[in-house]
Amino acid sequence: MSDDFLSEGRVVPPNFGPLRDANANARVTGPCGDTMEFWLRVEDERIAQARFTTDGCDYSLVCGAMAARMAEGKKLSEPPITKDDVLVSVGGIPEEFHHCALLASDTLKAAVSKYCMTRCASAKGGQCQTRPKAPRTAESQSRAEKSDPDTEQQELRSRLSLIRHKILVLSGKGGVGKSTVAVNVAAALVLAGKRVGLLDVDIHGPSVPKMLGLEGTPMHAEDGKMLPVEIGSLRVMSIGFLLRKQDDAVIWRGPMKMGVIKQFLKDVLWGELDYLIVDAPPGTGDEPLSMCQFMPDADGAIVVTTPQDVALAAVRKSITFCRQLNMPVLGVIENMSGFACPHCGKRTDVFKAGGGEKMATEMGVPFLGRIPIDPAIGEACDSGRPFASAGPHCANALSRVIASLLHLDEPA
C-alpha cells in the first residue's frame, strides 16, 4: 500500500505524503519531539495544493490533515491558519494533545514563509517580485490535472459507469441491523450469479470486515489505486481494512470523511459490477449525504428499521431524507420482527411487530419483508459467515428483497 493510503498501519487522509512538484517545504519539530513536514504548491499567490507527513501520534496526523485541507485554496495574503483554527475544525482533541494542532499550524506557517522568502530573494529595490512561472513538466502537468475538480469528477463518473446498479442501505437509527442486511443482500446477490461490490462507508464503526471474516486482511494497491478485498465473487472495501488495530478510533470531521468516501468510489478498482451495495452509517449526516451526491444516478435505497416506535420515528427521517435528495426508496425491511422459541415454537414479539410495514404504508413506499430475531443470524455475523448462505431462513427473510433488486434488470 502506498503512503497515500497508509502510514505505519494507521488510517491517513488523501493529503498525506510528499508533493513532488511543490514550490516550498518546511520541517518543524514540536515540543513533544514529534516532527511534521509540509509541502506546498503555490500558483497565482494561492496555495493550490498542500500535503504533509508526520512521525507523531494519531492526533498529529489528524491535525496535519486538517491544516492541509484548510490551506488549499487559501491566498498567501490572508491571515495564517492558527492553532485555534485547527482545533475548532478538528474538534474532540484532549487538551494534552493541543500541541499537535500547534505543530501543524507552525509547520504550515514555516512552509509559507519559506516560499515567500524564496520569492523575495530576487527582489529589486526592496520590492518583492514574483519570478516567472517555470514551464510545467509532463509530470507536474499530470499532477495538476489530477488535482483539478473537473478531472476528478470525470474520473469518478468513469469509475461508476462500470457499475450497473447502485444500492444504498440506510437507517435513521443505529443498532437496527443495517450492516447485517447489507452484507447478506450482497451475499445473496452473489449466490444469484451476480458480480457484486460491497462498500462500507461507516467511517467510525465499520463492521463489514468482521461479518465477512475479513478482519486483519491486508490492503493492496496497483498503480496508485486501491484493490478491493475479494471473497469469492464479492469485492469489498471498508475503512476497517486500513486500521492498524480493530480498537483504533477514526477521529475525523465531515470534510475528511467526504474525501475518503470519494476515494473509495474513485480510487478503488471495482471493475465491472452488476451491483454495488453501500452500507451507510445511521442518520442523515455526512456519509449518506456524500453518497447521494457522489452517486446521483443510484437506483435507490433500502431502509432498515425495527418494529418499535422509538426506531420508526428516526427511520421516517431517512425516507424524508431520500425524497429531499431525489433518491428513490426501494423499500423498507423490518428487522428483529418477532422471535420463535426453538423449543416450544411459541412466537414472542420482543419489539412488537408490524411497525415497519405500517410505516411503509403510511409513507407510500414498498414493504419488502420481515427478518425475525434468530440466534443463527447473530452467530453467523460473529463467525464471519453470511447467513444468506447458511440456511433456509435466508430464503424467507430476503427473498422479496433480492427479487426486487433482480427486477431492476427487467425492462420498464
> Maximum Cα–Cα distance for the chain, whole Å?
96
- 45 part of a folded domain: yes
Phi, psi of 346 (to 5 degrees): -70, 135
C-alpha cell at 130: 514574483
Domain shared by 218 and 364, yes or no: yes
C-alpha cell at 100: 499537535
Query: From the CA atom positions of the chain, what is the Rg in Å?
Result: 24
The pLDDT value recorded for residue 121 is 61
Domain shared by 218 and 349, yes or no: yes
Domain shared by 349 and 245, yes or no: yes
C-alpha cell at 237: 472495501
The pLDDT value recorded for residue 96 is 85
What's the N-to-C CA distance of the chain in angstroms? 43
Domain boundary among 146, 172, 203: 146
Type of residue found at 128? C
Three-class DSSP category at 67:
helix
Domain hosting 347: range is 153-409
Domain shared by 45 and 140, yes or no: yes
Domain boundary among 116, 146, 176: 146
Spatial CB neighbours of 230, under 8 Å, sequence gap ≥ 6: 236
Cα separations in angstroms, 180 against 65, 169, 212: 32, 10, 10
The pLDDT value recorded for residue 332 is 94
CA distance 263 to 250: 16
Q: Which of 185, 192, 208, 233 is nearest to 388 (CA)?
A: 185
- 175 part of a folded domain: yes
CATH number at residue 339: 3.40.50.300
Q: Which residues of 185-205 are buried (b: 16+ CB within 10 A; e: fewer)?
A: bbbbbbbeebbbbbbbbbbee
CATH number at residue 41: 3.90.1010.10
Cα separations in angstroms, 42 against 129, 133, 139: 15, 11, 16
**Phi-psi map region of 266: left, alpha, beta (phi>0 left; psi -120 to 50 alpha):** alpha
Domain shared by 136 and 195, yes or no: no
- 311 part of a folded domain: yes
Structural contact between residues 229 and 237, judged by C-beta atoms closer than 8 angstroms = yes
- 395 part of a folded domain: yes
Residue at grid coordinates 475479513: 214
The pLDDT value recorded for residue 6 is 46
CA angle 98, 103, 104 (to 5 degrees): 100
Three-class DSSP category at 11:
strand
Number of domains observed in the structure of the chain: 2
CA distance 136 to 299: 42
The pLDDT value recorded for residue 71 is 93
Type of residue found at 287? E
Q: Return the HEC string of 314-375.
A: HHHHHHHHHHHCCCCEEEEEEEEEEEECCCCCCEECECECCHHHHHHHHHCCCEEEEEEECH
Domain shared by 314 and 384, yes or no: yes
C-alpha cell at 262: 470519494
CA distance 5 to 219: 10
Domain shared by 74 and 193, yes or no: no
Structural contact between residues 283 and 47, judged by C-beta atoms closer than 8 angstroms = no
CA distance 303 to 172: 8
Domain shared by 209 and 304, yes or no: yes
Query: Residue-wise pLDDT tens for the chain (412 aa)?
Result: 334 444 444 566 778 888 888 889 999 988 778 889 999 999 989 999 999 998 888 888 888 999 998 999 999 988 899 998 998 888 778 888 899 999 999 999 999 988 888 777 645 444 444 444 444 444 444 444 444 556 778 888 999 999 999 999 999 888 898 999 999 999 989 988 999 999 999 988 899 999 999 988 877 888 778 899 999 889 999 988 887 777 777 777 777 788 888 889 988 999 999 999 999 999 888 889 989 989 999 999 999 999 988 889 989 999 999 999 999 999 999 988 878 777 776 778 887 778 889 999 999 999 998 888 877 777 777 777 777 655 555 556 677 788 888 888 665 5
Domain shared by 244 and 378, yes or no: yes
Q: Which of 61, 100, 21, 56 is nearest to 252 (CA)?
A: 61
Domain shared by 45 and 174, yes or no: no
- 264 part of a folded domain: yes
Count the residues in the chain: 412
Domain boundary among 103, 129, 146: 146
For the entire predicted model, the pTM comes to 0.68
CA distance 9 to 245: 8
CA distance 395 to 188: 9
Domain shared by 377 and 262, yes or no: yes
The pLDDT value recorded for residue 1 is 36
Domain shared by 129 and 250, yes or no: no
Phi, psi of 168 (to 5 degrees): -100, 140
CA distance 65 to 73: 15
Residue at grid coordinates 471498508: 238
- 1 part of a folded domain: no
Spatial CB neighbours of 189, under 8 Å, sequence gap ≥ 6: 196, 274, 275, 277, 402, 405, 406
